[in-house]
Structure 1
């Protein structure tokens, strides 16, 4: 036996499992499909954009900019294709690096609210979770303390507060954000400091953010949350955790009794196939990757994929509903300048405030609005020429930049998707990756619920923009069919192996253990039965910690 537990994936779920189990004395062998990554030595925190190729703008290899923390992944990964069914539009982001998506994300970490755990009971759509908010609340508290979270509480029934001792103070709003807040106050829309996984006070040997470098580059001082700086170092320090990178897992192995006891994987550097054995297996490779591993783990007892007696593996695929618009605010032109440093994200956001009006609004559930603007960074490529249509150079251009920079405000709606039968992933019957492993084929279609929700996002944004006298960057955004995001574009895929109280309609039990396979646990976004308007990372971390403790209890005599 190589270890007590094998963990597949090093993102927030896998690293949380390694942390919790390793500290409990369990021998953990972690396997990551991407390469090793060390933010403390690799992050170009203090580099100027002008020092990078193409002034740090996006490239096919670096779609989010040259300095983005992602080092070995993206929308397309060489040798690792996926396919999309005719009539569907879906794009799949894979990080392929130690720490997974915790290296590349907005670090927006709201808690799911009480209504989010019982959506079916509320409106008859989707399914209820087999747990409620009170059951996960203490795990949220623990996760926030360990993660390090700033933010502001608000008295809204489905936006749970954090204990005063948990959240750190957020940075104050900047001038454009104060303008937005004033407009929202007039319109009766809440506008508060968002929960972000960035610290403003030192904790656990981590330095506070000093507002000098974009978070999406990674953080060598560990002020923002990344699994590779917050979870893995203390896990490795126990001496109980080992990490193998460049290990593409193809399937889960079972012993003669049908218990999960290992994995089969390929060493991506050498092309050599290997096996690893343990007493239990945790899949935390991301919602779609974990589904792919289960579907590829076929046998006589599991002809449709491991743990798939319910037929739900790969089904119920959800992403966050996304819609956004940008605008220029003439009232901000030529304003006095002051120190506008802060975290590299907006200091305000608008949580959903109309939970009691979903019937009259014409769509179920809700959304929140995130904010962005050019006041959080210095002028980049295209600012003077493309964004504001300036035709000139030299002193005129410089004066134009001084007057106009910091006048752009954007809003991004992030809403709940209802699971539907048209959104799922399955194995492509013909296409395989470079190692001969069958790849996923995605099916995707937004329903009228999401389209109407996105239309409401747009109307809300237009009301706010109108209140501050903003001019849309693209006036056509206000007309015609709403330009809703593509499936997968928000990088919030969940639901492909959902938890439930009935094995006939779910893949894992309320603790995260597979109904069909003793010793197999899932600890990533695949287990979420619904995808509320709150970003899922904090909930995945809290559930993984809870599942890790359940695994420890199971190993001592409960169901295993």
Structure 2
């Protein structure tokens, strides 16, 4: 275990943070910088920045069989492979072994996980968008589920704080549905992306194409000291970035927490219960099983932050049973495990573009284009077919020698063909909002235990009519925009997969105004146990249509500030 992160272990702390992904890293940083002696628990192995990115500098030809894994290895990650890209030799080691970490499905659910220090902050897609005022008001407006107990104005200062710290490249657009932020310089569009941007603006009122807003440093500004520098445009991000160019817990927040001298990081620590004192009506600590030795431990603290991921944090609460909470800690409302959300994707269109044959691009930028939501914003944008909306991600590129049919070329002709780039293609895929349905849920199966004796998670969730109707429009509008932009051979696609495939799991311990209908209050505290905060995707009350990680970080920073203040006042 690295001395860089590890301080002497003890039994009692000011705070405990469970999980080390984007939320856990931010909780650790804020609590430690606030002066709290903080124990950070991670169920997976230790990962040190740079040292433990084994494939970061390898080229494609360094991997046997073009990066395809042997059959016996693939058989251990069949569920993780459902994305189509996660289980490849350059990075499959970040994703769990499905045999060692099983889960159950009443209906298909794609649960992509990484158990290690840093969590999915190492492998995330890095798209970072603010929610809008419209998003926080949507449930109340539509009469769906419960109202958010916060509004955009409450979270805006925390978006500012997070963006200024992590570094987000992007373009301010002045759109109400996609608020502006504090950005690094935008990553430039290539010539075809710029062309499509202009044509879409010309033919469609209110539709904008911009560069994806991604958590990458794109200037010489200093972020987080020596661990981070500007993006090198290698687009090998999922392997772990040795430059710290994109934000991760390992390169940024955990080192900041460690620098205070207040953090103790303990990997290989599976938290399975939050302990409760009925006399004080507070949590007293957590129970842990060592991943390697299977020994059990108890650690105590004044405040606990659950940041283990939407499903994992809720599973911990479900296992935290007592006379006061026979159905799981904080589950007075029977909402624990319900309202599973994600974003539905795999629908859009692609086509070919004739022109710009003398143009190419430099580097491998780690993002493409983004088309913000343009449906149900009022006026002509409204439709009566579905509520809420969607955005698109995509981009343009040129083919290469792989387009050449080898059997039809040889000698001089083949040599000339492989030295010329192929034609331009452009494609976009939608990300649509999934509504919170109470019976889209997870629960624990005590008849099927894992190797540590813990109950496994069972998922019973699916898309509904609103999502299917939305997908029809997502496909139609993708085709319409590409055709108006001058592409040929435009082909739609629609491969829905299942919930979880967006890797944006949300819900299961939603926040709300009423303890009778929600698990958490507007500060991310469990209504009935005020010294337990949940700040990963579990707290989400609706899903918006934008990537949620920036929102998790903003809420985590806000909740940590609140916890520090409440501890000083003695109210928790």
Distance 2:90 2:396 in 1: 18
Q: Which range moves more in the overlay, 267-276 or 16-25? A: 267-276
The secondary structure found in structure 2 opposite 1:555 is helix
Distance 1:398 1:303 in 2: 72
- Offset, 1:279: 1.7
Distance 1:36 1:471 in 2: 49
Q: 2:98 pairs with 66, 77, 81, which one? A: 77
Deviations 1:291-349 (A, max 9, x none): 1111111122211111111111101110012133453415158x225442252221x21
Question: Where does residue 424 of structure 1 map in the other structure?
Answer: 441
Contact map agreement 2:193 2:396 (CA 8 A) in 1: no
Contact map agreement 2:342 2:505 (CA 8 A) in 1: yes
Distance 1:406 1:106 in 2: 27
Question: Where does residue 112 of structure 2 map in the other structure?
Answer: 93
1:134 maps onto 2:145 in alignment: no
- Offset, 1:261: 1.5
Distance 1:156 1:239 in 2: 42
Q: Which range moves more in the overlay, 63-72 or 518-527? A: 63-72
Distance 1:398 1:528 in 2: 55
1:518 maps onto 2:530 in alignment: yes
Q: Which range moves more in the overlay, 459-468 or 60-69? A: 60-69
1:319 maps onto 2:342 in alignment: yes
The secondary structure found in structure 1 opposite 2:51 is helix
- Offset, 1:532: 0.3
Contact map agreement 2:231 2:246 (CA 8 A) in 1: yes
Distance 1:472 1:267 in 2: 56
Counterparts of 1:217-366 in structure 2 under 5 Å? 217-255=239-277, 257=279, 258-325=281-348, 327-331=350-354, 335-346=357-368, 348-354=369-375, 355-356=377-378, 359-366=382-389
Q: Closer, same or farther in 2 for the Cα pair 1:125/1:518, shift >3 Å?
A: closer
Distance 1:503 1:406 in 2: 58
Matched residue pairs, number? 540
Q: 1:200 pairs with 202, 208, 218, which one? A: 218
Distance 1:402 1:65 in 2: 31
The secondary structure found in structure 1 opposite 2:333 is coil
Gaps of 5+ in 1: none
The secondary structure found in structure 2 opposite 1:533 is coil
Distance 1:194 1:213 in 2: 14
1:494 maps onto 2:516 in alignment: no
Distance 2:264 2:478 in 1: 48
- Offset, 1:212: 2.8
1:32 maps onto 2:51 in alignment: no
The secondary structure found in structure 1 opposite 2:563 is helix
Contact map agreement 1:262 1:275 (CA 8 A) in 2: yes
Q: Closer, same or farther in 2 for the Cα pair 1:420/1:91, shift >3 Å?
A: same
Question: Where does residue 60 of structure 2 map in the other structure?
Answer: 49
Q: Closer, same or farther in 2 for the Cα pair 1:469/1:542, shift >3 Å?
A: same
The secondary structure found in structure 2 opposite 1:183 is helix
Q: Which range moves more in the overlay, 22-31 or 263-272? A: 263-272
Distance 1:494 1:127 in 2: 15
Q: Closer, same or farther in 2 for the Cα pair 1:374/1:218, shift >3 Å?
A: farther
- Offset, 1:99: 1.0
TM-score by length of structure 2 reads: 0.89
Distance 1:29 1:233 in 2: 14
1:527 maps onto 2:539 in alignment: yes
Question: Where does residue 159 of structure 1 map in the other structure?
Answer: 178
- Offset, 1:36: 1.3
- Offset, 1:513: 1.0
- Offset, 1:401: 5.0
Gaps of 5+ in 2: 1-10
Contact map agreement 2:15 2:303 (CA 8 A) in 1: yes
Query: Over the residues paired in the alignment, what is the CA RMSD in angstroms?
Result: 2.4
Contact map agreement 2:211 2:367 (CA 8 A) in 1: no
Q: Closer, same or farther in 2 for the Cα pair 1:361/1:340, shift >3 Å?
A: farther
Question: Where does residue 149 of structure 1 map in the other structure?
Answer: 168
Q: Which range moves more in the overlay, 214-223 or 224-233? A: 214-223
Contact map agreement 2:167 2:183 (CA 8 A) in 1: yes
TM-score by length of structure 1 reads: 0.90
Deviations 1:248-295 (A, max 9, x none): 111111235242121112111112222222222111000001111111
Q: Closer, same or farther in 2 for the Cα pair 1:327/1:393, shift >3 Å?
A: farther
Distance 2:63 2:90 in 1: 11
Q: Closer, same or farther in 2 for the Cα pair 1:280/1:455, shift >3 Å?
A: same
